[in-house]
Amino acid sequence: MLEVNIKKKLPGFDLEVAFSADSGIMAMLGPSGSGKTMTLQCVAGLTQVDEGYINLNGEVLLDTSRKIDIRPQVRRVGFVFQNYALFPHLTVRDNIAYGIRHLEKAESDGIITRLMENMHIASLGHRFPSQLSAGQQQRVALARAIAPEPRVLLLDEPFSALDAVVKESLEIELLSLQQFYKGIIILVTHNFAEGYRMSSKMAIYESGRIAQCGDKGKIVGSPANLTVAGLMGFKNLLVGTVSQIIGQDLYLEVPGLSLFKIRLPEQMQLAVGMRLTLGIRSEFVRVSAAAEENSLPGVVSGVINEVASTRCFFSAGTNLQYTFEAFLPPPADASLKVGSRLNFCFPPEHLVVVGQAGETAQTGSLAG
């Protein structure tokens, strides 16, 4: 178990985060400059913390109140940097050996050979980093980080420089890595889909703070605020006032549109007259029959044909003042073209409360 509660102050930026991570992969997601990489550097001991503590499996790595600050070299924390940071003058084999050079040669050779086989780079041992592709360099960096058997493996946007095919292959390998690496893995990414695929737990960063942390399914099902909702892909927003609560059904009146029904969220204190923002992911919006619940008439304003779906923008409202987005499955309806008048449905089971009074939002699509 990794437990972190730290503060770090810089000119124009304050980092103040607290979280815990257990075995498996935890993804840190958030915009650039929100503090994700700095958090990794603090955990690794590469950046000095102003206040707080870091505890790893019962061992105190940092406690500023007790003046404890274990050196990076003995924390047993592996770090894969965004640019891989391989030693250019060393071969692949020597790069991997660097962190275990204190071991007997026979032992280190066995570790290196096993890792190179697991990472599918067994034939590249004699090459230098300049002779490797980006994907091969990434595999070497992972092998080098794992060789000393770290208790925590920190990955700072490891897939950002890779093409789609190599990225997919390495994602699968990273997931498979857990078969022989039993430590804690923390993955920093900007990409929600990547973070969701790779992890079981997520921490969502916002301006040096963690806005929400926990099981990925719970975060997607109940975003803590509009920032989290945006990162989770809730592009379509409905801002209105609670007009009725009947049993477990809540009705939101959105100006210029109509009433939208959702199931009353558990453990959320809501009342008639409250201002709420609902969100729905674009893939859950669909073309519907006029009489269907939560349906509204719209005019198609844009169509983008993608490989696995059709991205459709449509305008709705009394004066067509709102724009929404839908990802519709193929084959696209022949009537789906700019200017078409269709009915679109926002299914109640996919509408989620993403903001309450005090948060500023506007009805429509964040992508529109």
Model confidence pLDDT, tens digit, residues 135-168:
899 899 999 999 999 999 999 988 877 778 888 8
| Residue 105 and residue 164 in one domain | yes
Q: Do 195 and 318 have their domain in common?
A: no
Structural domain of 187: 2-228
CA nearest neighbour of 72 among 44, 48, 39:
44
pLDDT of the residue at 152: 96
Residue 333 banded pLDDT, cuts 50, 70, 90: low
Same domain? 283 vs 321: yes
The number of distinct structural domains making up the chain is: 2
- Determine the 3-state secondary structure of 163 from DSSP: coil
Say if CB 204 and CB 39 are below 8 A apart.
no
Do 124 and 215 fall into the same domain? yes
Lowest mean pLDDT among 156-165, 202-211, 276-285, 304-313: 156-165
Do 183 and 209 belong together in one domain? yes
Cβ–Cβ under 8 Å, residues 312 and 268: no
Phi-psi region of 76 (alpha: psi -120 to 50; beta: other; left: phi over 0): left
What's the rounded Cα separation, in Å, for the pair 250 and 256?
19
Last residue in a domain, options 228, 246, 281: 228
171 plus 54 within the same structural domain: yes
Q: Which residue has the higher pLDDT, 265 or 137?
A: 137
149 & 298 share domain? no
**53 and 141 fall within a common domain:** yes
Last residue of a domain, one of 196, 228, 260: 228
Spatial strand order in the sheet of 341-345:
286-287, 341-345, 295-305, 310-316, 322-328
Mark whether 220 and 249 lie in a shared domain.
Answer: no
Residue 305 tokens read as 């044909």
Residues 166 and 265 in one domain: no
Based on the fold, state whether residues 321 and 206 are members of the same structural domain. Answer: no
Residues 44 and 125 placed together within one structural domain of the fold = yes
Give the CATH number for residue 240.
2.40.50.100
Residue 90's CB is within 10 A of a number of other CB atoms, namely 15
Give the pLDDT band (50/70/90) at residue 174. Answer: confident
pTM of model > 0.85 = yes
What mean pLDDT is predicted for residues 130-136? 90
* Range 322-352 burial, b when 16+ CB lie within 10 A, else e: bbbbbbbeeebeeebeeebebbbbbbbebbb
Quick one: average pLDDT of 224-247?
90
Q: Where are the beta strands (DSSP E) in 172-215?
A: 184-189, 201-206, 209-215
Q: What does the pLDDT read at residue 269?
A: 82
Instruction: Please report the pLDDT score of residue 366 as a whole number.
Output: 67
CATH code of residue 84 = 3.40.50.300
Show Cβ contacts of residue 158 under 8 Å, excluding neighbours closer than 6 positions: 80, 82, 138, 141, 142, 170, 174, 187
Domain-terminating residue out of 209, 228, 247: 228
Tokens of 250: 């809540």
